[in-house]
């Protein structure tokens, strides 16, 4: 009980670990969570430390996992939450993890490139189909207006123009442009050609999909009539500058219609393959993240160690609670046995030290939130009285004095009880949402605040 009202008594210890057993020992100490290591190489640059290559490999694996996580979230596939806390894998497992992540990343990149290419081709086919449909409608209306003056025979000319044999020298170019850019495109066309071209346009009713972003885009079909090679050259330069694709004379309406029926089937098969690969990765990505981050943390700690003269032993210094020295020694023994080292790891307690001791307050799931409130104002000195236990009563009581309403207090109390009862199921969702994580971590604070609000509300005779 004394540790609740005062910070733990700490001691400085030296660890002597064999090189082959250092990784497993640090892994066991990390799972125990009772040791704070000191950096014995503060003057050494990060790129000069012994395990810098392993840390970089972990950074690269984290990058690949973030890429896969982004693809999974983009596909709206639920990520399986790890129910247990997997231990750090052995160093040789890094090769298997790297190969797995490399394979998944390359597969996703290839599938994404193929999907984008198919979507881009499908978009071009859809645009050209709309161009042909709108131009057919336009010339059909033109024939109706002409009446018995003759047939208006149109064909798609070379270089993307449509020319009428009845109107010698009259050429036409058709294409599509985004609805937002059409006004500027029309104004530029008018200024460059001095009003000597005739422009017709019609909006595509259904929105199209951008192959790069997946967002909906609205486009407009345009038809430009001109006469003479000079105007034709100007119009083509404007279209080239706007990256517009013109229709060609060897493309027919039936060709695009047939192509459009084939494209969605290929797209559907490609997307199904992508979803299957992502669903398989979503089941393991949480565990992979935990393993990679633990490996990275272990090598980061190993970079704080010193090598002895023989370069076969690593020397470390750490702060640890005096009451937990036996647990730390047992963790070192387990690490040595895991690594199958013949030389035991040594824990040596340093006496009569003049260094500033760190403050360690032992907490549990009930007192963690109150300790965080106290630490937000300042951390007490070593072996100083810890005000967190008194805050357990004073903080909710003062809130109840301020918020003395029995009705609202009951709502807070019931909400806090619900979180406390279902805390194991809600713990996973609190990791993904920062705001919900803050509320969940303070569930016991809310519980006491609701209780004191009910008490103050009954004294005030105030309900809602």
Q: What is the DSSP string of 137-187?
A: HHHHHHHHHHGGG----EEE-GGGBEEESSSTTEEEEEEEEEGGGHHHHHH
pLDDT, tens digit, for every residue of 58-89? 999 999 999 999 999 988 898 887 777 888 99
CB 205 within 8 A of CB 216: no
Report the distance separating Cα 71 and Cα 270, nearest Å. 15
Report the distance separating Cα 312 and Cα 457, nearest Å. 68
With 60 as the cut, is the pLDDT of residue 152 above it?
A: no
Total residue length of the chain: 464
The domain over range 158-248 is classified in CATH as 3.30.70.2750: yes
Classify residue 364 by its DSSP letter.
Answer: -
Report the distance separating Cα 279 and Cα 408, nearest Å. 43
If you compute the radius of gyration of the chain from its CA atoms, what whole number of angstroms results?
Answer: 36
pLDDT, tens digit, for every residue of 120-150? 888 888 888 888 888 777 777 666 555 544 4
Tell me the pLDDT of the chain averaged across its residues: 83
Tokens (6 digits) for 152: 């208006």
Q: What are phi and psi of 428, to 5 degrees?
A: -70, -45
Tokens (6 digits) for 403: 């918020």
CB 214 within 8 A of CB 75: no
Q: How many helices (H) and strands (E) does the chain have?
A: 15, 12
Could you give the residue range(s) of every CATH 3.30.70.2750 domain in the chain?
158-248
The three-state secondary structure class of 370 is helix
With 50 as the cut, is the pLDDT of residue 258 above it?
A: no
Global pTM?
0.75
Tokens (6 digits) for 199: 């422009």
At 291, is the pLDDT very low, low, confident or very high (cuts 50, 70, 90)?
very high
Which of 447, 453, 424, 452 shows the shortest CA–CA distance to 369?
A: 447
Instruction: State the residue for tokens 């633990």.
Output: 294
Q: Quick one: pLDDT at residue 142?
A: 63
The three-state secondary structure class of 307 is strand
With 50 as the cut, is the pLDDT of residue 348 above it?
A: yes
Which residues does 133 contact at the CB level (< 8 Å), separation at least 6?
Answer: 253
């Amino acid at each position: 009980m004394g540790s609740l009202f005062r910070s733990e008594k700490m001691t400085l210890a030296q660890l002597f670990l064999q090189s082959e057993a250092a990784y497993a020992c640090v892994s066991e100490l990390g799972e125990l969570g009772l040791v704070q290591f000191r950096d014995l190489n503060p003057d050494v640059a990060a790129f000069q430390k012994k395990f810098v290559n392993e840390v970089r490999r972990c950074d690269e694996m984290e990058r690949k996992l973030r890429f896969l996580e982004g693809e999974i979230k983009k596909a709206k596939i639920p990520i399986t939450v790890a129910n247990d806390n997997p231990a750090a894998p052995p160093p040789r497992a890094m090769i298997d993890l790297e190969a797995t992540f490399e394979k998944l990343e390359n597969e996703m990149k290839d599938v994404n490139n193929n999907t984008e290419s198919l979507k881009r081709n499908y978009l071009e086919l859809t645009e050209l189909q709309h161009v042909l449909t709108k131009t057919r409608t336009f010339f059909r209306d033109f024939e109706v207006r002409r009446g018995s003056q003759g047939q208006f025979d149109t064909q798609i000319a070379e270089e993307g123009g449509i020319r009428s044999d009845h109107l010698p020298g009259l050429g036409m170019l058709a294409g599509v442009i985004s609805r937002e850019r059409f006004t500027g495109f029309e104004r530029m066309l008018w200024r460059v050609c001095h009003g000597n071209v005739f422009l017709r346009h019609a909006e595509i009713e259904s929105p199209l999909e951008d192959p790069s972003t997946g967002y909906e885009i609205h486009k407009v079909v345009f038809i430009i009539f001109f006469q003479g090679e000079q105007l034709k050259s100007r119009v083509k330069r404007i279209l080239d500058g706007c990256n517009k694709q013109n229709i060609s004379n060897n493309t027919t309406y039936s060709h695009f219609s047939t192509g459009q029926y084939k494209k969605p089937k290929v797209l559907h098969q490609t997307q199904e393959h992508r979803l299957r690969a992502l669903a398989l990765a979503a089941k393991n990505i949480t565990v992979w993240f935990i393993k990679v981050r633990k490996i990275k943390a272990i090598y980061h700690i190993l970079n704080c160690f010193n090598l002895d003269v023989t370069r076969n032993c690593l020397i470390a210094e750490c702060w640890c609670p005096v009451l937990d020295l036996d647990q730390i020694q047992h963790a070192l023994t387990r690490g040595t046995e895991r690594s199958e080292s013949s030389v035991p790891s040594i824990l040596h307690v340093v006496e009569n030290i003049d260094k500033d001791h760190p403050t360690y307050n032992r907490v549990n799931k009930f007192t963690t939130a109150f300790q965080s409130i106290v630490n937000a104002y300042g951390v007490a000195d070593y072996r100083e009285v810890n005000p967190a236990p008194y805050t357990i009563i004073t903080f909710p009581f003062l809130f109840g004095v301020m918020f003395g309403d029995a009705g609202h207090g009951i709502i807070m109390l019931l909400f806090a009880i619900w979180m406390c009862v279902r805390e194991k199921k809600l713990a996973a969702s609190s990791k993904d949402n920062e705001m919900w994580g803050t509320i969940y971590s303070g569930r016991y604070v809310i519980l006491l605040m609701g209780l004191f609000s009910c008490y103050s509300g009954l004294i005030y005779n105030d309900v809602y």
